[in-house]
Chain A
């Protein structure tokens, strides 16, 4: 049933994933509800799907919808599905697929969209010679060790900062005011530099 719901007009039918997706496994809700859900899920996947993975979007949407079906069955059809929830499930399915490909070192045969190559979420950030890669990996491990030993609040602020968030972003995520977060990042960076020097690393 899901395959039928997810198929684009004119697209060849896809086999069902597993027995749980078979038509008789889908609980009470009306067909129209599932048609609507399938369309919403497809939109949610497309909205977040990197261009290089677009050819897999339909399969990923099916996998995501499978999860929704299973949950709906557990809840006996009484669970409301919000748009946010569908985006969350779609995101999770996309992340699973990206990480699965990364583990398998798969490379798409299709050329990515313009600008996409440089921002593939799973692309390693640097490809220097093995020796230099090893050296900054060592630095990365040292950073993690220093963070693990740091004061918790400084650690939280600094982790987000090192993940690329600005101070205001980090403040909003952590539920603190910007000034406090800025102070924590500033002090956290100072601690981190000293810790790295103690471990023999140049920050």
Chain B
């Protein structure tokens, strides 16, 4: 998984997401928010995740919680405050034990981020209601700093049309061969995977655009 993702992953993801909730199953959106943003203990988080298989409404709410992630820092004041006090207490112990000389002014007192879920995201930069012109079939997105991108393009029935090579450019031009395979007026799905060296992989939602 640390290398390139298998070709069928985008298709499996899209198929998994295609089962939308019907609003009939009970969903605790607050608990899902807590599970995704890190305030539940691990076993409770696992229980919430396990429910996503049998409860398509819960899976839908999970996706919403992921996509609507508030900015880091704002929502985390309570745990951050707790960590900050721990840091202060540790600092005091350190001071008593080994003296001030080891506590330099450059010491990092920033509270650690307690929640590890990626908060950066990749979003489409195509204008709303855009139709992809056949003469200029360029997909564009808003990236994240330092990332290199790979784009997967699929038909609306989830056949992979093409997968780009990695690039640091935040746009991708579809090949002529791909364009020949897309009927006029049909939709394509596309997804961007951003790889940050030494960091992590950020996968965009699946975007949809109509080709003229």
Using a CB–CB cutoff of 8 Å, the interface residues on chain A facing chain B are 44, 47-48, 50, 82-85, 87-89, 91-92, 94-96, 98-99, 103, 111-119, 121-129, 132-133, 135-137, 139-141, 143-144, 147-148, 152, 155-156, 159-169, 172-175, 182, 185-186, 189, 192-193, 203
A141 touches B19 (CB 8 A): yes
Q: A87-B70, A125-B17, A174-B46 are in contact. Are A136 and B157 (CB under 8 A)?
A: yes
Smallest CB separation, A39 vs chain B (Å): 14
Q: How many A-B contacts at CB < 8 Å in the complex?
A: 243
Q: A89-B30, A168-B200 are in contact. Are A118 and B207 (CB under 8 A)?
A: yes
B50 touches A152 (CB 8 A): yes
Complex Cα spacing A182 to B2, Å: 8
Tell me which of A83, A119, A139 contacts B77 (CB under 8 A). A83
Tell me which of B8, B30, B71, B74 contacts A203 (CB under 8 A). B8
5 contacts between A and B (CB under 8 A): A83-B78, A126-B206, A132-B156, A162-B17, A172-B117
Near A by CB (< 8 A), chain B positions 37-87 give: 37-39, 41-43, 45-46, 49-50, 52-54, 56-57, 59-71, 74-79
B49 touches A174 (CB 8 A): yes
Asked whether B161 is an interface residue with its Cβ less than 8 Å from the other chain, the reply is: no
Asked whether B18 is an interface residue with its Cβ less than 8 Å from the other chain, the reply is: yes
Q: Given A99-B23, A118-B208, A143-B15, output 17 extra A-B contacts at Cβ < 8 Å.
A: A95-B29, A95-B65, A96-B29, A98-B64, A118-B128, A119-B205, A121-B68, A132-B156, A144-B53, A159-B50, A159-B52, A163-B62, A167-B1, A174-B42, A175-B42, A182-B2, A203-B11
